[in-house]
Amino acid sequence: MDPRHSRRLRAGFAVTLGATAALATALPAYADYVDNDLRVEMPAHSVAAGSAGKPMTVDVVKSGSDAATNVVVTIDASGVDPAKAAVTFAGHAGCTVANLVETCHVDSYAKPGTDSYGLVVTPTAAATPGNAGPVVASVTSDTTDEYTGDNSGSFPVTVTDPGVDLVALAEPVASPIEPGHSRPLALAVANAGSTTVHGVSFTVDTRWSWASLAERYQECTTTGTATTCVLPDVDLGPDRVLAFVDDKGDSLLHLAADPHALGLAEEKGTFEVSPATGAAARSARGGRSLAARLAAPTRRVTPHTADRDPGDNTTTFAYRIADNPADVQVTVPSYRARVGDVVTVRATVTNAGPGDGRGFTVYADKPSGTTLVGTPTLAVGDHSEPYMCDPQGGTDGHDVRCFHDGEFLPTGTKGAVSGVLTFQLKVTSADLGTGRVTANDGAHDPDPKNNTAPVRIALESGSASPSASPTAAGGSGGGSGSLPVTGTRLGLIGGAGAALLVAGAAVLVLARRRARA
């Protein structure tokens, strides 16, 4: 859905809002099934008495892979008591307003996502705390909706006691982040209340281990994917915005991508704000002070720490990580054997980087003149289980197919593991051909040539004896011999005969940003 809405708070910090579409993986098509659902939400609908007005949004959320056509959105604010609050609409393209009812026509919502329709609620000077009446919203379309119970909603506008009302504001990261690099984060906190807050706390959660805040400020601590910063001496007055920028307008917060990060078509992080309680946290690593670098600090006043409407204290921001493929490599030693011998073949699968792998599938085709015997196994790290391999005969025309569904980190990095496919071949003929072992991770590979290694058995004279054991003679593929198997236990998917499903479409995850008038 096209971004539509951009509003400017009175402090002068502009935050662009709009709908960011997400591409959903298509579901199987059924003749009588339509994959479409529309719903309406209003994340925040409270305003502090004595405030200068608060931007709010009615959000239309589209899910499902089928397009919703001829969409009509209706937002009715006529039920709000004019003696308590005034409602104004942002005036979006395709919308008309009559008698405090906004009607919007959209040709199609083709993909999952969220569209936000902005309005501003301003309490009257005489308003007292309490219910000011509802905003009623609805959405319809010509496409079958699998659940219509959430196509409409009544959201009571509430006037709260005077006080602080913080609002989280965020913009998407403008372009993909190259692995090993960072890009600016556009984040801000607004006070839509009627009193000044003394001290602000915020948390940025990337929700993905490959992305994190680049800076290590004194006031911030990181746990997992979330970084929390406490700024107890920063004051934010009514109708003011605190942007996390310096005096030159440059962002003080940057989002960094791990050098081994997988490419992400789109992910969304969360940004949450609240009044600060207690002293600022001090990172064990020390570092610079964030508060000391912030532009335009506000005046000091008596502290007020209660937030009158925490419903809009959290928002999301979209970011992407540029493509960073894994180079899957296969090596297989060469072997010597006599007719009648059983040869144990060991093929090693490694990730040469730069990106982390998404697991892998490995296939083996036996040389002519041999017969597959026994049960193939795949060892990854310290695990070797037969259920990771399909029964003899496999699928896709291969003799062996095994899979690993879990982390597959580049060689040389912490936690890196290699996979070792083991299978046995009985030499049945002196006329031996060449087999092969191939592995892939279902994604783009920067060097597909080293994904395959030959399986060669050199014939020795004589016949097999009970004590005879074949020998490996040099390596083939990407190196010589088998690499050591190291690492830690990883989760494995099981089930006899389970098939690895390789996703062919990137999933774009919706990033919602709320319109602020």
Distance between CA 360 and CA 500 in Å, rounded?
9
Indicate whether 268 and 353 sit together in one domain: no
Residue 500 lies in a domain: no
Residue 308 confidence (pLDDT): 66
Instruction: Taking residues 341-354, report their average pLDDT.
Output: 92
Phi and psi dihedrals of 388, rounded to 5?
-80, -5
**% of the chain residues with pLDDT over 70:** 75
pLDDT over 90 at 300, yes or no = no
Give residue 455's pLDDT band: very low, low, confident or very high (50, 70, 90): very high
Instruction: Of 162, 216, 192, give the one whose Cα is nearest residue 15.
Output: 192
28 vs 502, residue with greater confidence:
28
CATH of residue 273's domain is 2.60.40.10
User: Domain range spanning residue 172?
Assistant: 163-324
Residue ending a domain, choose from 281, 298, 324: 324
Indicate whether 248 and 315 sit together in one domain: yes
Give residue 494's pLDDT band: very low, low, confident or very high (50, 70, 90): very low
Indicate whether 440 and 344 sit together in one domain: yes
Residue 92 lies in a domain: yes
Residue 507 lies in a domain: no
Indicate whether 320 and 351 sit together in one domain: no
502 token code pair: 């390789």
CATH of residue 406's domain is 2.60.40.1510
Indicate whether 189 and 291 sit together in one domain: yes
Residue 392 confidence (pLDDT): 56
Indicate whether 60 and 80 sit together in one domain: yes
Distance between CA 421 and CA 409 in Å, rounded?
17
Indicate whether 104 and 223 sit together in one domain: no
Give residue 202's pLDDT band: very low, low, confident or very high (50, 70, 90): very high
Mean of per-residue pLDDT scores for the chain: 78
Residue 5 confidence (pLDDT): 33
**DSSP strands (E only) in 355-484:** 360-365, 370-380, 383-385, 400-404, 419-427, 435-440, 452-455, 457-463, 471-477
92 token code pair: 């979006």
Residue 508 lies in a domain: no
Residue ending a domain, choose from 442, 460, 477: 477
Instruction: Taking residues 67-89, report their average pLDDT.
Output: 96
Indicate whether 299 and 437 sit together in one domain: no
130 vs 18, residue with greater confidence:
130
Distance between CA 102 and CA 153 in Å, rounded?
15
Indicate whether 238 and 299 sit together in one domain: yes
Residue 106 corresponds to which amino acid?
A: V
Asked if residue 354 has a cis previous peptide bond (ω within 30° of 0), the answer is: yes
Residue 87 confidence (pLDDT): 95
Phi and psi dihedrals of 263, rounded to 5?
-65, 135
Looking at the structure of the chain, the number of domains it has is: 3
Of 115-129, 212-226, 303-317, 442-456, minimum mean pLDDT range? 303-317
Residue 262 lies in a domain: yes
Instruction: Taking residues 451-464, report their average pLDDT.
Output: 86
Residue 492 confidence (pLDDT): 23
Q: Which of the listed ranges 66-75, 173-182, 352-361, 374-383 does the model predict with the highest average pLDDT?
A: 66-75
Specify the 3-state DSSP secondary structure of 459: strand
Phi and psi dihedrals of 311, rounded to 5?
-65, -20
pLDDT over 80 at 250, yes or no = yes
Contact 338, 463 (CB under 8 A): yes
Instruction: Of 203, 185, 296, 316, give the one whose Cα is nearest residue 250.
Output: 185
In SS3 terms, 307-364 reads as ECCHHHCEEEEEEEECCCCEEEEEEEEEEEEEECCEEEEEEEEEEEEECCECCEEEEE
pLDDT in tens, 96-114: 999 999 999 999 999 888 8
Residue 375 confidence (pLDDT): 87
Residue 262 corresponds to which amino acid?
A: L
Of 145-154, 193-202, 287-296, 408-417, minimum mean pLDDT range? 408-417
Residue ending a domain, choose from 123, 146, 161: 161
Residue 516 lies in a domain: no
Residue 102 corresponds to which amino acid?
A: E
Residue 454 confidence (pLDDT): 97
Distance between CA 385 and CA 114 in Å, rounded?
44
First to last CA, the chain: 20
Instruction: Of 61, 233, 46, give the one whose Cα is nearest residue 156.
Output: 46
Which residues make beta-bridge pairs with 57? 118
Indicate whether 144 and 279 sit together in one domain: no
Residue 93 lies in a domain: yes
Residue 448 lies in a domain: yes
Indicate whether 169 and 121 sit together in one domain: no
Specify the 3-state DSSP secondary structure of 211: strand
Q: How many Cα neighbours within 13 Å face the side chain of 84? A: 21
Global confidence as pTM: 0.59
Indicate whether 317 and 366 sit together in one domain: no
pLDDT over 90 at 319, yes or no = no
